[in-house]
Amino acid sequence: MNTFDLIVIGAGPGGYVAAIRAAQLGLKTAVVEKEHLGGICLNWGCIPTKALLRSAEVYHMMQHLDEFGLSASNLQFDIKKIVERSRKVSSQLAQGVKHLLKKNKVTVFDGMGSLKNGKTVSVKSTDGKTTDLTAKNIIIATGARPRILPGLEPDGKYIWTYKEAMIPETLPKKLLVVGSGAIGSEFASFYNAFGSDVTIVEVMDQVLPQEDHEISERAKKAFEAKGIKILTKTTVQSLKVINDNVDAVLKTATVEHTESFDRVITAVGVVGNIENIGLESTKIKTENTRILTNEYCETNEPGVYAIGDVVAGPWLAHKASHEGILCAEKIAGLHAHSINKLNIPGCTYTSPQVASIGLTEKKAKELGYELNIGRFSAVGNGKSIALGEMDGFIKTIFDKKTGELLGAHLIGPEVTEMIQGFGIAKTLETTESELMHTIFAHPTLSEMMHESVLDAFGRAIHL
């Protein structure tokens, strides 16, 4: 009864997708989940934050009604209702995952799963009972948790991780965000939109450190124009709660000073959940809190795979889901395609939005490529002007010798929806010729993509 073809430990966007795909392929499949179907992404990450940011976007639009010939008085917001809507969105999708698993006849075990060996998973339920499951194949999809730096430990009340930042009872008047990656920058945008005085501290020399430098610079200007203070090349030495405030010691290369904030959000990355899952009973190897795998997500233990945030980055939900499908298809005996990480898009839902895929200009040059680079501003796009959202541009990077699209970097309205066009282009190994001869509908924001490609080869029309 407790023997399966595949057991998946963890039901996040990697685990539950792997389980469904395996079931579709005829494998008897079980999922072990200790807390939330859908994982962090659906319950405390990607989805609920986008619901919060949608409220911020609508509120921002309300404050600029006059530009569209509209008017309203006594504009207000209710942070409790905003949070409540976010939680409802999350709950609805979690129920959807439960339905999908049931529909596909995946057996769900509630509890903490750990490996007894490479073929057996022990499940400890909340009531303390233990059940052993066996399978020929196991996928570890245990995800990650916030990285905690010494001296910056969260207390859940004054010093927050993303979880507390998602469910505020009141808005802080003065907020410090430690880290300017996607999570930190998105929360900074949200709280800034509702009137908090926000400061971002980043140890690197640019905000959104993973992005192309030009995109980062434009994002910095946009954030600062909205009133967000940005301190790069700065570290937070310590945090101390004093009289309902948090004193932060901020240090640059030359200066150290103390500043007081109502609340602090720490967003300095994540660490893999590799503890207490029985790795020591297997041949699985780890490095820097991540399970080591090959290009097909196989660990050193035969028949055991690992996917998502518990393995090497990028730590993105869509990458985890794709890895889950890869594993399920390989286990089922299908021809599995390894993932080209340069074809994985990244999206940041700040205001303005940021999206990218492939190499940055700096990285492409470091690798020795000769480049053709195109840029096109949202100011020259009719749809952007009609929407009243003209802050942004698109940058495309091509190999001068072959015409290969090496990277695309976008900032501006709805670029998180447009990036997939470049994703398809890279997957198909499209060159500049195919992109230039593609007909883009008018009037659309996507025309900026076309113009950026044309500009890389001196053929832009609307520059």
202 is known to lie in a ligand binding site: yes
Which tokens belong to 70?
């509209």
Neighbours of 280 (CB within 10 A): 8
DSSP output for 248-304? EEEE-SS-EEEEEESEEEE---EEE--TTS-GGGSS--EETTEE---TTSB-SSTTE
Q: 436 in helix, strand or coil?
A: helix
Q: Cβ-count burial of 276 within 10 angstroms (0-12 exposed, 13-18 middle, 19+ buried)?
A: exposed
267 marked ligand binding residue: no
The response to whether 183 counts as a known ligand-binding position is: yes
What is the distance between the alpha carbons of residues 365 and 246, in angstroms, rounded to a whole number? Answer: 43
Please answer whether residues 181 and 267 qualify as being in contact, where contact means their C-beta atoms are separated by less than 8 angstroms: yes
Q: Which of 19, 184, 10, 208 is nearest to 110 (CA)?
A: 10
Tell me: is residue 50 an annotated ligand-binding position.
yes
Q: Is 442 a catalytic residue?
A: yes
Q: Is 38 annotated as a binding residue?
A: no
Please check if 309 is assigned to a binding site.
yes
Across-strand partners of 251? 235, 256
Using a 10 angstrom Cβ sphere, with 0-12 exposed, 13-18 middle and 19 or more buried, the burial of residue 268 is buried
| 113 marked ligand binding residue | yes
CA-nearest of 59, 268, 67, 61 to 152 is 268
CB atoms within 10 A of CB 158: 19
Q: Indicate the DSSP class of residue 73.
A: S
Q: Is 110 annotated as a binding residue?
A: no
Q: Catalytic residue among 213, 318, 442, 450, which?
A: 442
Closest by CA position to 211, among listed 193, 231, 185: 185
Is 185 a known ligand-binding residue? Answer: yes
CB 318 within 8 A of CB 14: no
Residue 221 CA from chain centroid, whole number? 22
Nearest to 187 by CA among 209, 164, 154, 220: 164
Residues marked active site are found at: 442
Annotated binding site for FAD: 50, 113, 309
Annotated binding site for NAD(+): 179-186, 202, 269
Annotated binding site: 50, 113, 179-186, 202, 269, 309
